Structure 1
Amino acid sequence: MSILVSIEDLLSGNVVEGTRMEFKKGWNPKPIMRSVCAFANDFENEGSGYIIVGVDEVDGKPIRPVFGFPPNDLEAVEKKLIGLCNLMQPHYMPRTSLEAIDGKHVLVIWITAGSNRPYKVPDDVLAKHKTYNYRIRFNSNSIVPNPEQEAELLQLTAKIPFDDRVNTQASVNDMSSSLMREHLEKTKSRLLEESNKMTVEELAEKMNLSQGANEHLFPKNVGLLMFSNHPEKYFKGVQIDVVEFPNGVAGKEFTEKIFQGAIQKQLVDALSYIKTNVIKEKVIKHPDKEASDRVFNYPFNAIEEALSNAVYHRNYELQDPIEVRILPDAIEIISYNGADPSLKQEDFDKGIVRARRYRNRRIGEFLKELRLTEGRGTGIPTIVKALKDNGSGSPTFDTNEPQRTHFLIEIPIHPEFDDQENDQVTDQVTDQVTDQANKLTKEQIEVLNFTLKPQKRKEILEECLGLSNQTKNFSTHIEPLVVLNLIELTIPDKPTSQNQKYVTTNIGKSVLASIKNRDKNDEVTN
């Protein structure tokens, strides 16, 4: 059976991370079975592992051209593999594929994450007296877990990620053969040609999208999410909402575009819409040099990575859609129910983020195969670098601690575009700004400065003003700013939401600028 990606892409390391691959120059059952066990345990929910026999390596990188695996040995090795896998506790059987590359053949052993973990395997499968141990992956090695790791592995027994669980409320025939074949075509898998005469049930089994006996065969959630035309029938709220607020979230005007269908199609269509309707380019000429600079209001690759990560990491058990809010000075991408507990806000603030365990291992695999998301732990650095290269400001990552009900990425507009917008706003409201600036209390000015970044009511009253979180204090110091459109709600359609925050509007920023200029003039006069 063929693997789901081309062997060339697999060896390149661009689709599957090096930690999920192991190269063997020849068939060596002792280390191979230890690695089969480790990949099947999938300790960090990374997804499938691959052992490629017939490829030598240096420092984890394959040597090309490959050494090769004798095709005539395939049948004998597969028979031996069946016997060796019977030694695993509980029984586990990987999938094998003979792939052609560099004018030779290699044997690919595809180890999908096991549904009956944890697994044990003999340290030496060929020894007469066998000693069994659990195995897990640590970096690029298959090791015996220490006591703490073993305890954690045992706790994972019943914790199969949601996307890899069987859905007994649906049928395998609810998946689309054409969508599955479309994926195989994009990943250049040899399975595409083999699937010509396959039924939906047969193809789903080959792609590891179903589970059970023939008479009780059910689809996995990932199959319904990615390879059914209407996943919303099985998972409410599975969509991407792109909402544009030309006057901010407190404004009455907004346009909304909803993307449904298979989640990878939602992602591609939403990105295409944003690229066509939102992304703008500006050429900046300099009097002292010939070359001009080209900048974008938002670098597309930052938006692409942020939205892809939202699709990858969201909780599909919840009914909240992914939200993309296009504001006058930023784009916000919100996914529910937030970042993994192992990721701390301080890690995002430092720009050093590495997930301990992934929520949707199969969705991540498929998105990487389609090159719609980066490899392990590279998403945040990709966003930061894209903004820096474009000359934009730094992104904001909000984990919504301690509730962790959502995760928000805010991508600021490039200053060249922000200044233009601010100039237009300032021209329209100069008199209003001056008048409001003169009427604000000292406390209200402090609030305006404090909410330049989104803040909760409790944080504004207690941390900024040193007051108790009471209705009277809210009515005196916060509510008037909302009425004057100097601050706005981050979730305007749900005023009483526990995740509600307040943020300074463009007019509010203009008021602060007016106050700053007024204070400077007063200092000069005095």
Structure 2
Amino acid sequence: MNPLRLFISSVQKELAEERAALRDYLQGDALLRRFFEVFLFEDVPAADRRADACYLDEVQRCDIYLGIFGDEYGWEDAAGLSPTHREFRKATELGKTRLIYVKGNDDTHRHSKMKALVIEAGAELIRRRINSAQELIAAVYASLIKLLEERELIRFTPFDASFCRNATFEDLDMEGVSRFLVLARRGRSFPLPEDTPSEDVLAHLNLLDKGRPTHAAILLFGKKPQRFLITSEVRCAHFHGFEVEKPIPSYQVYKGTLFELIQQAKDFVLSKIDLWTGDRSQGVQVPTAYEIPQEVVAEAIVNAICHRDYTSNASVQVMLFKDRLEIWNPGSMPPGLTLEKLKQPHHSVPANPLIAEPLYLTKNIERMGTGIRDMIRRCREAGLAEPEIRLDAGEWITTILRKPKAVETTGQVPSKYPASTQQVTQQVMRLLSACLGDMSRAELMQAVAIKDRVSFAKNYLEPALAEKLVEMTQPDSRRSPTQKYRLTTRGREILKEMNKENE
């Protein structure tokens, strides 16, 4: 955005100190200098042009005319008007935004024509009286902040409730809104019928600001949310050791809606941690258990994505180490809460309430302030240490410790299963079960109901190939368009053991 050009009324000797002080303040203020470019006539270098032509041209170029009226009227032209008077009338004629400040409360010593100018201005707008440079600065600051708010260049509403600049309804995925409606009705008995127009759904969820998509609307239902909010992405990394160090065996930067980010980040972690699979001796279904309960993984990721500070330049980071899972997100402590209170019954205080509501309606979160306590309980039940949650330099850091051996999270592994099955992820097991003879990549993706080629490769196919559970039919021509995949002898043995109860 180009800065707004602010014209400070031209030379009056008695006000030179005030004008200079105001210019210096506006140019030195970290906020205002981002939005305003100041023009002061005294700063113009010598030039071969008339002074009155110069300042009137600048009035025409400016966005805001700021007039400071004192006791003196100043030099008069042939028509009997001072430069300040002409500037004010020119700004009025051109429809410029005008801010007028009158020095002094006593008009008895004011030049008669300056009195007339003060009255002329007062008939058209609200003037402000000031008595010093400090009062002028304070008054101008208040006026400029109000102007920025009115022009929606700064906000005082919550971030998720304010409109997303340059975003339109064309940037929203209306099919995503329809899918949400189905899930919300099924999950939380959402009152709107399934044929409700998408715009009405967004309005019901308070995701529109004067008919425009809010930041929450773009994050939840945008076609490309990161086009507007680039740091809303989630970065996931897997390290074989105990520290952040290169090379990084697996690194993904996920983009998409918040619903997609939650699923992608959760799949990333679950595809890297150990999964124990039992037998059907205790029931019809084969029991499975991740070394970190998947509800704990999901809760930690959802908390980071839902409650993060979206005005920060930092992104959510999910890092899996040999001994722990760490999830980082920018944010601060909700008012009235402490780290200790978060572990006890407390009110739900979402940082982004308009984001939290749709996530609640789709059963991604609860609204009872129980999330952290549930994480602690589930970790204890799985034999894990209590998650550590801390604030560090504007970052929330959630740490969940892993066990040295994943099988200890669920007890003894039945001896009938090969030890290798203890390291096979749920995604790979789905792939083995779906692989019937020689199948193409597209056929396998369809069989396991995965549409994203990158996710399928990273979480299903590549791990299966690495563990030699699946092999290529044309290993010497990896990129062949007729390439297919089939189970290896080892893959068939593991699958046979897993399905033994059905034989």
For Structure 1 versus Structure 2, the TM-score category normalised by the shorter chain is 0.3 to 0.5
**TM-score normalized by structure 1?**
0.43
TM, length-normalised to structure 2: 0.44
